[in-house]
Structure formats: structure tokens, C-alpha cells
Amino acid sequence: MSRTVAPHAQRTRIQFSAFVTVLKPVTWFAPVWAFACGAISAIAQIPADASTFDLVAQVALGLALAGPMLCGASQAVNDWFDRHVDAVNEPDRPIPSGRLPGRTGLAIAVLWTLASLAVAALLGPVVFLAAFVGCLLSWGYSAPPVRFKQDGWLGNASVAIAYEGLAWITGAAVIAQGVPAPEILVLAALYSIGAHGIMTLNDFKAIAGDVQFGIRTLPVRYGVKRAAQIACVVMALPQLLVIGVMTAWGHPVAAGIIALLLIGQGLCMPRLIADPEKEAIRYNGTGIGLFVLGMMVSAVAVGVFP
């Protein structure tokens, strides 16, 4: 005899699916990777009396904070305030499609943000401060009247700082049990600048809706080819500076590896510039992969071979 699923149970599964979708797990990699780089870069700062068990537990909690919590909250915030844009660009998203009806999307954004700050408070004042600033940036990115995303320069900067720089600092602060060393802050800042270019790559998929709603991303402001050129320059220049500081800090091997990774990115860039709308996804899997490997190389150099 065939069995049917109770309507209430079916709705519960759909609601849970929509909840997970609005947190966009695919976006968690960037802050989680930056957190890991930050943690590794601070290994030399581990306090002499630190408990290994406590550090492992705090790192695990920090990884959850960087990805599912803070990044997930920022995605929920963006989905709520971008529901009218998504209705054009991605009408199957949970909010415009009605799978999260009414103000459910806003409730998720608020509660997940507060939960993230509560978790951050467990990891110390430096982590809480970084998380608080990250939350301000994520709400400012999407929510009126600030809505940084209306300007491609400001919007991409706010996301890059939150996903790369603050996540890196958070990972380092967990390991160092306090403020990270100046070298770590320099690397976090430089890779945040480079991540601005990475953020631009995500704008090529939503040009139609951005034009309709007056969102002045770099592709909208300068055209797709010029925006791709700007993105490539913004990604490359900070890495050149990383190569320079690695050399100055006595890490020539790391500097050489990062230089080779940058050359690899340079070989991929002409194809991206030739057709940004088609090639942006491919470049995310090639050039950006080399970019993030360079992040880890620099972190290992500073943390493991100080």
C-alpha cells in the first residue's frame, strides 16, 4: 500500500530547505579559508600556557562563526533587502519565490546576526569587535539608507573587508588570544584589497537587474570589459605588495611561490577580459584558486617560519 507524506511534514522540509538556501553555503568558503589563514599565521603567537584542547575547540567554533554564522547572516540580510532585485535576476530564490513568506526572511537575518554576535562574544573581545564590525558592514551593504552595494567600489570593499580581512583577523585573534601581530594585520589588509577584485567577478551575472534598479556595480558603471580589467589590476597589485613584504620579512621562498601563483593568474586573465560574462565562473575556479593558495602560503610563512 502506498504511503503519502503529511502536508505539515512536507511544508517543514520545504521551509528547512529554504532556510539553508538563504544562508548560501556555497559562499562560506571565502571567510572560512581566510579564518584558517589567520589562525595559521598566528601560530607563532600561541601563548605559552595555552591549552591545546581549548585552542582546538575555539578554532572549531571560530570556523562555524566565520562561515555558517556570520557569512550566512550576511547572505540572509542581502536576500531580504535584495528581494526585488532577485525577482528579476533569480526569481527562484526563497524570498521572491514565496518559499519564505511574509517577513520570515527578515526574521532570519535579524536572529542569525544576533546569534552570530553571541557566539563571537564567547571567543573574546577582539573576535567580538571584528564580528560586530563585520555585521555592521553586512547590514550596511544591503540595507537602506546606507546600502553600500549601490556603489560598486564601496559595496565590494565592504564585502572584501568582512569576508577576507576581518575573517583573517578573527582567526589570528583566536590563536593569539588577543590582538594579532602587525605582520598579520598587513596581510589581512592586502588580501582584503585583492578580494575587492574577486567581488567584482560576481557582478557580471546580475547586470540586467542591477541596471534596472540603479545598482552601480563596476560592470554597470564602466562596461563589462573595463570592469574586468579593473578587477584584474585590483587582484594583482596587492599580491605584488605581498611578494615585496614577504621578501622584506625574510621569506624569499614564500615570495617566489606567490610570484609563480600570480603569474598563473596572469595567464588566465586575458581570457577573462575577453568575455567576462562567460568566463567569470571559470576564472573563479582557476585564477581565484591560485589567489587563495597564495593566501595560505603567506600565512604559513609568517606563522610557521617566523
> Could you read off the pLDDT of 216-267 as tens digits, one per residue?
999 999 999 999 999 999 999 999 999 999 999 999 999 999 999 999 999 9
- Predicted pLDDT of residue 6: 35
- Predicted pLDDT of residue 164: 97
155-213: pLDDT as tens digits: 999 999 999 999 999 999 999 999 999 999 999 999 999 999 999 999 998 888 888 88
Section 1-5 average pLDDT: 38
Q: Identify whether the C-beta of residue 62 lies closer than 8 Å to the C-beta of residue 123.
A: yes
Section 77-83 average pLDDT: 94
What's the number of domains the chain is made of? 2
On whether residue 33 sits in a domain, the answer given is yes
Residues 227, 155, single domain; the answer is no
Residues 116, 191, single domain; the answer is no
Residues 160, 29, single domain; the answer is yes
If you average pLDDT over every residue of the chain, what do you get? 93
Residues 40, 176, single domain; the answer is yes
Q: Identify whether the C-beta of residue 105 lies closer than 8 Å to the C-beta of residue 168.
A: no
Residues 29, 167, single domain; the answer is yes
| Distance separating alpha carbons of residues 233 and 154, to the nearest angstrom | 17
Domain that holds residue 95: 22-180
Residues 151, 185, single domain; the answer is no
16-33: pLDDT as tens digits: 889 999 999 999 999 999
Q: Of 180, 195, 226, which one is at a domain's C-terminal end?
A: 180
pLDDT for residue 2 is more than 70: no
Residues 267, 227, single domain; the answer is yes
Paired with 151 in beta bridges are 216
Any residues with CB less than 8 A from the CB of 27 and at least 6 apart, and which? 71, 75
Residues 148, 289, single domain; the answer is no
Residue 216 has phi, psi (to 5 degrees) of -90, 65
Residues 187, 117, single domain; the answer is no
- Predicted pLDDT of residue 3: 40
Residues 228, 262, single domain; the answer is yes
The domain that holds 48 is classified in CATH as 1.10.357.140
Residues 80, 173, single domain; the answer is yes
On whether residue 209 sits in a domain, the answer given is no
